[in-house]
Structure 1
Amino acid sequence: MGRKRLITDSFQVVKRQHRDPDTKEGSLQPEAVPVPAESPTDSSLHPAQLEMLKQFDLSWEYGPCTGITRLQRWERAESLGLSPPLVVRETLLEHEGDPSFMHCLWHDYPL
């Protein structure tokens, strides 16, 4: 029957070499990922509220959420008689200057 096939049988394993500008030799090192500095008004203080807003973004019954803020989307849904959750509007007004609360889930992705 033979041996079990592995993914590496079809795809070659490639490791990236990062070159040190001071030397001519490359060295295998993991890529550095920048870690953003947390501020006191960081969104990590309100994970339950952000999760609720993400669920609001993912709910298509209130229309598309790209290109507008969450508050604009809530007001549009209200004007169309769709009855969006009032707690979403209260949360958005409570954190009115914070971009992590005001922008939708897809704001950081280009259209």
Structure 2
Amino acid sequence: MTGAAVATGVLVVTATLAAGCAAVGGAAIRSAQVTATADSAALAAADAAIGIVGGVPCERAAQVVASAGLDLAACELAGVVATVEVAGSVGVFRVQARARAGPPA
């Protein structure tokens, strides 16, 4: 009986650790996706601000973010420099990233 209790305890601890590692791994992957989307959205907004592509800069950023299935938390334009903040969630974790793009100083 004692061996069965120990084996059950080991299985429960192992399953809990595996579930925790899977959740953290998913959050890390989502964080990379949010960061890449923020970079792309900032570049799209800066391109629109400079005039390389048509449209309103923050609307361009919103299109890029929406195509990735994320939320545009903020979009600011200072001249031709665009700063965007993108947010997403995975499980109970909330992931955010900020990116800035524009011509060199």
Q: Whose helix proportion is higher, 1 or 2? A: 2
Asked whether the two chains share a fold, i.e. TM above 0.5, the reply is: no
Q: TM (normalized to structure 1)?
A: 0.28
Larger relative CO (CA 8 A, sep 6+): 1 or 2?
Answer: 2
* Higher alpha-carbon Rg: 1
* TM-score normalised per structure 2: 0.29
